[in-house]
Amino acid sequence: MGIKIYNTFTSQKEDFIPLEPDRVGFYLCGPTVYDYFHLGNARPFIVFDVYRRFLIYRGFQVKYVMNVTDVDDKIINRAQKEGVSVAEIAARYTQAFFEDMEKLGIHRADVHPKATEHIPEMIELIQKLLEKGYAYKIGGDVYFQVEKFRKYGRLSGKNLEELKAGARVEVDERKRNPLDFALWKAAKAGEPCWESPWGKGRPGWHIECSAMSMKYLGETFDIHAGGEDLIFPHHENEIAQSCAATSKKFARYWMHNGFLNIQGEKMSKSLGNFLIAREVVKRHRPEVIRLFFLQKHYRSPINYTEEILRQTANALDRLQNTLQNIEYYLKDSPQGTDVAHDQIQQGSEFSRLVQYSKREFIKAMEDDFNSAAAIGKIFEMAKEANRIMEKGELSKVDQFALADFRRMLLEYDQFLGILPGKDGLKKGEGDEDALVALLVQVREELRKKKEWSLADRIRNKLKELGYIIEDRREGSVWYKV
Ligand code: AMP
Ligand code: ZN
């Protein structure tokens, strides 16, 4: 089976056939750098980076482009409020954006084009639209005339009348249609501006993405992604401008992630209900935040609560413990090499599960990047791995399968990035932590004196309370379930 992608443009899951075999051009709308990005913004940044890395894992050569919008009303407002230059605000939050991406384990794109460094490309595009009669000038402003573009509304699945009724567009008597949008805005005092054939001014937001995506990926490219709030008007306008200018198809597959909600509402700057990603990553490991997003389908809404993040952290700890246990077992008994061929052929229940789940994992990822289902497979295998390790006495085949499971996890983590760092097992909190540690120490002493029954009683009692002790060669370790 090949890869399938749900294409917003056709409202269908489609076979993914890149324009050029084995090569993928992938564009993600990046941040507007006027503040730190919030946890909602982190969703597309994380999930689309994982999908791009999955495509690479599957053998595609991916060119991934993510813009930085560094000239915009919001940046200008912030600069005015702080009494500093627009460039200073943009530089500060561009740097913060890269720092936060790194903190969240998001790989850099191949190109991060900045809007301010692509003004000539935007001017050229606007020029073309004027020449072809899709745009008109009013004073120093240039507008795109939506009625001239027959397919306007295709992406959002609405016609012009419906869009007009639903849109909150600024009333500007000079525009021919309220939905007409600015390609170029005439300079205002105190705002950054550039020379153009229509006088000094700055580009509109939509033209930035058209110009930069086409510059780096070609006039027609494979995947264009962003949050679902960008479908209208941003992506609708990108399509109109680009197709009108080139008379060619623009992006071939449109992918949109669902919202991160908080108390039933979209997390957003304007509603004020947001959590800054760099603050959240101080409380929760990046792997936890990544798993939090990846364990849900990217098109579904996700609800944020601290409790869900804590549960996610627990699930991740269990997975980490499973991995450590596997390593412990395999260290004790060098596996694999001496497993008889017919034993492997025959397999065990666990080895069959690993083989099956491996295939199912890839199938899920190929099916519109269903990381939720894929990760579900990992947890099923981990549960079963724990069960057979608890039983003790592992057959050679099971050891072989455990090693296979471990290898597979590490391999998939090349794109998932959810395997915890090396910060050890999960502990309880504060005083509780110290008490359990003391009991574990006492038990160690008892074991040295061969007082097995008392040692076992302590271990069993702690297990009832949710603390697991594991005896290892280097001593006992414990963690909370
Ligand atoms: P912005 O900087 O507001 O343009 O947003 C950057 C990216 O984050 C865009 O792709 C948005 O669609 C996306 N985004 C914004 N808010 C949310 C949210 N609450 N949940 C998911 N994605 C979001
Ligand atoms: Zn964009």
- What is the DSSP track for 261-322? EETTEE--TTTT---BHHHHHHHS-HHHHHHHHHTS-TTS-EEE-HHHHHHHHHHHHHHHHH
Q: Are residues 368 and 442 in the same domain?
A: no
User: Tell me, what's the pLDDT at 340?
Assistant: 58
Q: How many domains are contained in the chain?
A: 3
Domain stop point among 421, 438, 471: 421
Atom of ligand 1 nearest to the CA of 32: 2
Nearest Cα neighbor of 351 from 365, 339, 367, 334 is 339
| Residues 6 or more apart whose Cβ sits within 8 Å of residue 409 | 323, 378, 419
For residue 230, report the distance from its CA to the centre of ligand 2, in Å: 8
Cis bond leading into 334, ω under 30°? Answer: no
Q: Is 474 within a domain?
A: yes
| Residues 6 or more apart whose Cβ sits within 8 Å of residue 246 | 214, 219, 220
Q: Is 202 within a domain?
A: yes
Quickly state the pLDDT bin for 473 (edges 50, 70, 90): low
CATH, residue 351:
1.10.730
Look at strands 302-304 and 467-472 and give their pairing: unpaired
Atom of ligand 1 nearest to the CA of 29: 10
| Coil, helix or strand at residue 135 | strand
| Containing structural domain, residue 463 | 430-480
Nearest Cα neighbor of 224 from 204, 246, 249, 261 is 249
Q: Are residues 218 and 352 in the same domain?
A: no
Q: Are residues 101 and 244 in the same domain?
A: yes
For residue 64, report the distance from its CA to the centre of ligand 2, in Å: 14
Q: Is 464 within a domain?
A: yes
Q: Are residues 405 and 442 in the same domain?
A: no
Adjacency order of strands within the sheet including 251-257: 61-66, 23-28, 221-227, 251-257
Q: Which ligand is located closest to the Cα atom of residue 115?
A: 2
Domain stop point among 257, 276, 303: 257
Look at strands 61-66 and 23-28 and give their pairing: parallel
Q: Is 90 within a domain?
A: yes
Q: Are residues 391 and 451 in the same domain?
A: no
Whether 43 contacts 226, CB under 8 Å: no
| Coil, helix or strand at residue 186 | strand
Q: Are residues 182 and 41 in the same domain?
A: yes
Separation CA 380–CA 358 (nearest Å)? 11
Q: Is 461 within a domain?
A: yes
Quickly state the pLDDT bin for 364 (edges 50, 70, 90): very high
Handedness of CA 156, 159, 163, 165 (dihedral sign): negative
User: Tell me, what's the pLDDT at 424?
Assistant: 40
DSSP 8-state code for residue 61: E
Whether 208 contacts 10, CB under 8 Å: no
For residue 466, report the distance from its CA to the centre of ligand 1, in Å: 39
| Ligand 1 site, residue 105, Cβ cutoff 6 A | no
CATH, residue 220:
3.40.50.620
pLDDT tens sequence across 281-304: 999 999 999 999 999 999 999 999
Domain stop point among 421, 447, 470: 421
Place of tokens 């012009």: 160
Q: Which ligand is located closest to the Cα atom of residue 37?
A: 1
Q: In residues, how long is the chain?
A: 481
Q: Are residues 455 and 414 in the same domain?
A: no
Helices H / strands E in the chain, number of each:
16, 15
Q: Is 130 within a domain?
A: yes
Separation CA 440–CA 209 (nearest Å)? 59
Q: Are residues 57 and 120 in the same domain?
A: yes
User: Tell me, what's the pLDDT at 342?
Assistant: 61
User: Tell me, what's the pLDDT at 425?
Assistant: 44
Q: Is 182 within a domain?
A: yes
Task: List Cα–Cα distances, 429 to 277, 384, 404, 434, in angstroms.
Answer: 24, 29, 34, 8
Q: How far is the first Cα of the chain from the last one, in angstroms, to the nearest whole number?
A: 38
Separation CA 148–CA 133 (nearest Å)? 8
User: Tell me, what's the pLDDT at 466?
Assistant: 80
Q: Are residues 374 and 435 in the same domain?
A: no
| Ligand 1 site, residue 240, Cβ cutoff 6 A | no
Atom 17, ligand 1: residue with shortest CA distance: 40
User: For the chain, how are helix, strand and coil distributed in percent, rounded to 5?
Assistant: 50, 15, 30
Separation CA 385–CA 477 (nearest Å)? 19
- Percent of the chain having pLDDT more than 90? 78
In terms of average pLDDT, the best of 63-72, 168-177, 429-438 is: 63-72
Handedness of CA 376, 378, 384, 387 (dihedral sign): negative
DSSP 8-state code for residue 234: I
Q: Are residues 453 and 409 in the same domain?
A: no
pLDDT tens sequence across 59-90: 999 999 999 999 999 999 999 999 999 999 99
Maximum alpha-carbon separation in the chain: 92
Q: Are residues 409 and 451 in the same domain?
A: no
- The region of weakest confidence among 21-30, 111-120, 137-146, 472-481 is 472-481
| Ligand 1 site, residue 40, Cβ cutoff 6 A | yes
Task: List Cα–Cα distances, 117 to 93, 140, 142, 309, 424, in angstroms.
Answer: 16, 21, 20, 39, 45
Q: Are residues 215 and 114 in the same domain?
A: yes
DSSP 8-state code for residue 248: S
Bridge partners of residue 236, in order along the sequence = none
Atom 11, ligand 1: residue with shortest CA distance: 227
Task: List Cα–Cα distances, 67 to 32, 113, 207, 251, 276, in angstroms.
Answer: 9, 5, 12, 16, 20
Query: What amino acid is encoded at 240 in this protein?
Result: A
- What is the DSSP track for 382-433? HHHHHHHHHT----HHHHHHHHHHHHHHHHHHHHH--S--S--S----HHHH
| Ligand 1 site, residue 230, Cβ cutoff 6 A | yes
- Calculate the average pLDDT of the chain: 92
User: Tell me, what's the pLDDT at 221?
Assistant: 98
Separation CA 481–CA 479 (nearest Å)? 7
| Ligand 1 site, residue 267, Cβ cutoff 6 A | yes
Q: Is 450 within a domain?
A: yes
User: Tell me, what's the pLDDT at 469?
Assistant: 82
